[in-house]
């Protein structure tokens, strides 16, 4: 088993422990996790996507659509609908609490607010992270957008890991330790896969000519620059024109750069022109 697969196995093992802990505290967590994912699913179907598979995670499911590419704006909406489902239930039970403030109602409020808050944390594999990545990718490069949300995961994980110290290492702090370890490990794993993410987003850009209101930007690089290093600087809503050493007479489009990457490999910019 390779290093990446070991890290992935470690993350999945932590997920399993978190899920067991939550269900042992209350089976209602599982019910509202399912309803959370139902929000994603219904939204995706309404937007025209077909479901491929569901993978169980401690604070939701990993929803995979059959479509290779999901429009960034659709991905934002789909990601938002899961936490929004929990927020709606929280508000509903909060209103009911004015009529009956029983422990069950308070418990249902707590479950849904926990699921809502956790899932909107802006780290890579959570809904908040996916939303932030899509928004950032419209203004900054694919590479920076992916890097930011995964560095967020490491930072948030370290912050959460410090909380049990202030809680006196109570039994309930075990869940915080597991959550923090899952955030850190998964973020490290995603950083290792960042090249794959950039390639996927470059492919989306190549096959979607009318994304948002595309602007054009001219960028120049030295002739020995590798084209993947150029692709890292692409963002969704800008069409790039690439040239060598500020020579405006000899340029190439970003879509041609992506095409060369998949047909000739990570060649230099000079080789693209040759």
- What pLDDT digit, counting tens, does each position of 183-215 carry? 888 788 777 778 777 777 777 766 665 554 567
The answer on 157 and 41 residing in a single domain is yes
Percentage of the chain surpassing pLDDT 70?
77
The answer on 223 and 260 residing in a single domain is yes
Strands (E), the chain: 51-57, 60-65, 215-221, 238-244, 251-253
- Specify the residue for token string 């040759």: 274
- Specify the residue for token string 């659709």: 74
Domain assignment of residue 134, yes or no: yes
The answer on 141 and 103 residing in a single domain is yes
The answer on 181 and 238 residing in a single domain is no
Q: What angle do CA 18, 24, 25 make, to 5 degrees?
A: 95
Report the domain count for the chain.
Answer: 2
CB-based contacts of 157-160 (< 8 A; 24+ apart in sequence): 157/123, 157/181, 157/182, 157/183, 157/184, 157/187, 158/184
Confidence of residue 247 (pLDDT cuts 50, 70, 90): low
The answer on 219 and 154 residing in a single domain is no
Burial (Cβ within 10 Å: 0-12, 13-18, ≥19) of residue 159: exposed
Confidence at residue 248, expressed as pLDDT on a 0 to 100 scale:
66
The answer on 134 and 70 residing in a single domain is yes
Domain that includes residue 181, residue range: 3-192
CA distance 264 to 267: 7
Domain assignment of residue 36, yes or no: yes
Confidence at residue 4, expressed as pLDDT on a 0 to 100 scale:
45
Domain assignment of residue 94, yes or no: yes
Radius of gyration of the chain (CA): 22
Residue 3 scores a pLDDT above 50: no
Predicted TM-score (pTM) of the model is: 0.76
CA distance 45 to 34: 16
The answer on 214 and 182 residing in a single domain is no
The answer on 131 and 52 residing in a single domain is yes
For residue 112, the number of C-alpha atoms closer than 13 Å in the C-beta half-sphere is: 22
Q: Which of 158, 192, 226 is the last residue of a domain?
A: 192
Domain assignment of residue 118, yes or no: yes
The answer on 172 and 113 residing in a single domain is yes
Domain assignment of residue 133, yes or no: yes
141 Cβ partners below 8 Å, 6+ apart? 232, 233, 234, 235
**Backbone torsions φ then ψ of 100, nearest 5 degrees:** -140, 110
Q: State the average pLDDT for the chain.
A: 78
Confidence of residue 123 (pLDDT cuts 50, 70, 90): confident
Q: How many CB atoms lie within 10 A of CB 113?
A: 17
Domain assignment of residue 263, yes or no: yes
The answer on 141 and 27 residing in a single domain is yes
The answer on 251 and 143 residing in a single domain is no
Q: Which of 160, 192, 224 is the last residue of a domain?
A: 192
120 Cβ partners below 8 Å, 6+ apart? 83, 126, 127, 128, 131
């Amino acid at each position: 088993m390779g290093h990446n697969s070991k890290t992935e196995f470690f993350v999945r093992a932590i997920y399993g422990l978190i899920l067991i802990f939550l269900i042992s505290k209350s089976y209602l967590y599982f019910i509202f996790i399912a309803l959370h994912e139902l929000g994603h699913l219904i939204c995706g179907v309404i937007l025209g996507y077909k479901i491929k598979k569901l993978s169980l995670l401690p604070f939701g499911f990993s929803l995979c659509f059959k479509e290779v590419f999901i429009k960034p704006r659709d991905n934002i909406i789909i990601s938002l609908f899961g936490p929004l489902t929990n927020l709606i239930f929280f508000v509903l039970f909060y209103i009911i609490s004015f009529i009956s403030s029983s422990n069950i109602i308070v418990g249902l409020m707590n479950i849904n607010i926990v699921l809502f808050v956790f899932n909107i944390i802006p780290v890579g594999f959570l809904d908040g992270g996916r939303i932030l990545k899509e928004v950032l990718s419209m203004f900054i490069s694919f590479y920076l957008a992916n890097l930011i949300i995964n560095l967020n995961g490491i930072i948030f994980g370290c912050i959460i890991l410090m909380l049990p110290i202030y809680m006196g290492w109570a039994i309930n702090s075990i869940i915080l330790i597991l959550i923090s370890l899952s955030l850190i490990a998964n973020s490290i794993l995603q950083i290792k896969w960042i090249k794959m993410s950039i390639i996927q987003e470059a492919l989306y850009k190549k096959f979607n000519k009318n994304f948002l209101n595309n602007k054009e930007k001219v960028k120049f690089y030295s002739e020995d620059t590798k084209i993947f290093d150029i692709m890292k600087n692409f963002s969704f809503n800008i069409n790039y024109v690439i040239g060598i050493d500020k020579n405006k007479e000899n340029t190439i489009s970003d879509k041609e750069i992506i095409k060369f990457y998949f047909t000739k490999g990570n060649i230099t910019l000079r080789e693209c022109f040759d």
